[in-house]
Structure 1
């Protein structure tokens, strides 16, 4: 591999010997002081020493002119929630007038950053909004399918489950089993038969 040559390196992969290369960005030197390993996945690259470096001026011994080996990570931006898109989120907290959730997926794409969503009482369902009981709609740990309404306060997105196909898609019972939906408002534990209230997403 010559200077400027690039290829893919994976974490832990040996990139070379410290007698030949200098460990650069995205690499680390093994405890033995010899092997240089990649610390992340990315493009492996060899960088020649700068003109004013001691390495460059070692003309009397060309073997001392070591190249720097580095690994440059891929800068890929994950999916970002936008108004109108459907997201999958995990409920983290339920309060009297709202529930908060961590957004895990935007449509079918996983997010790379942390996004918080808030489902307000008025956005749980389309009818009888004043009768919505948040504690009978969601529980911490529930996986919900929701639509992004807008970017709310404190970097939290307002989410809605008001459509029939939106709501809880997966939930664990108190006994720890994955519950089965038996109506739009009830899920049942297959182990104990106990019924728990939820705002259930209609399976299309």
Structure 2
């Protein structure tokens, strides 16, 4: 039996302890503190378990309103625009989830260890991404309340579109480099393998 509540939840809002509530659609449990949080904006509803169920915890769901776009989930492939690159992380705004555009702002973080699968100790974030790059990435987890953890550690993941300093759309020439067609300038990137 589902009990709809008029209460509106927002992403990152604490909904209760996982020991008392199971996370349903639009909610997730933090592995760090065992707390259930909302992962999108919408209305809360509680679904009571059947009386013969072994697990007697209610399930909490957050149902988005009709205008809701796609929402990143662990395992989703997303396209994101890099906004900031630092020594250990790159921050990006998610623009598409599994080829569906998003209507809310979702932030992703690519950590140093999630850039590529091999030679992780040699990764230089500034040689892998630049602000403005469009990357194809895998959603690893919901991270913290402010950002999703993203990975580009597979061949088909990484930078798919980049603009050179002179404003040209760069062309991939190897796994680690892209070239400006206007000037011939080569810039380092963690390039996504393009399917033939």
TM-score (normalizing by structure 1) = 0.63
How far apart in 1 are the matches of 2:142 and 2:76?
12
How far apart in 2 are the matches of 1:180 and 1:114?
28
* Bigger Rg over Cα: 1
- Counterpart of 2:166 in 1: which secondary structure? coil
- Give the alignment partner of residue 200 of structure 1, picking from 178, 191, 195: 191
- Give the alignment partner of residue 116 of structure 2, picking from 95, 119, 125: 125
- Alpha-carbon shift at residue 76 of structure 1 (Å): 2.5
1:104 aligns with 2:102: no
**How far does the alpha carbon of each residue in 1:155-177 deviate from its partner, in whole angstroms, 9 at most, with x for none?**
20000000000000000001110
- Counterpart of 1:135 in 2: which secondary structure? helix
**How far does the alpha carbon of each residue in 1:47-101 deviate from its partner, in whole angstroms, 9 at most, with x for none?**
xxxxxxxxxxxxxxxxxxxxxxxxxxx8232100000010000000000000000
Root-mean-square deviation (Å)? 0.9
TM-score (normalizing by structure 2) = 0.66
Map residues 137-176 of structure 1 onto 2, 5 A cutoff: 137-176=128-167
**How far does the alpha carbon of each residue in 1:107-137 deviate from its partner, in whole angstroms, 9 at most, with x for none?**
1100010000000000000000010000000
In structure 2, the gaps of 5 or more residues are: 1-64
- Counterpart of 1:190 in 2: which secondary structure? coil
- Counterpart of 1:113 in 2: which secondary structure? strand
Name 1:78's counterpart in structure 2.
69
1:90 aligns with 2:93: no
Which 4+ residue blocks in structure 1 deviate beyond 3 angstroms? none
In structure 1, the gaps of 5 or more residues are: 1-73
How far apart in 2 are the matches of 1:140 and 1:154?
23
- Alpha-carbon shift at residue 154 of structure 1 (Å): 3.3
1:181 aligns with 2:172: yes
How far apart in 2 are the matches of 1:154 and 1:83?
14
How far apart in 1 are the matches of 2:145 and 2:165?
32
How far apart in 1 are the matches of 2:181 and 2:145?
39
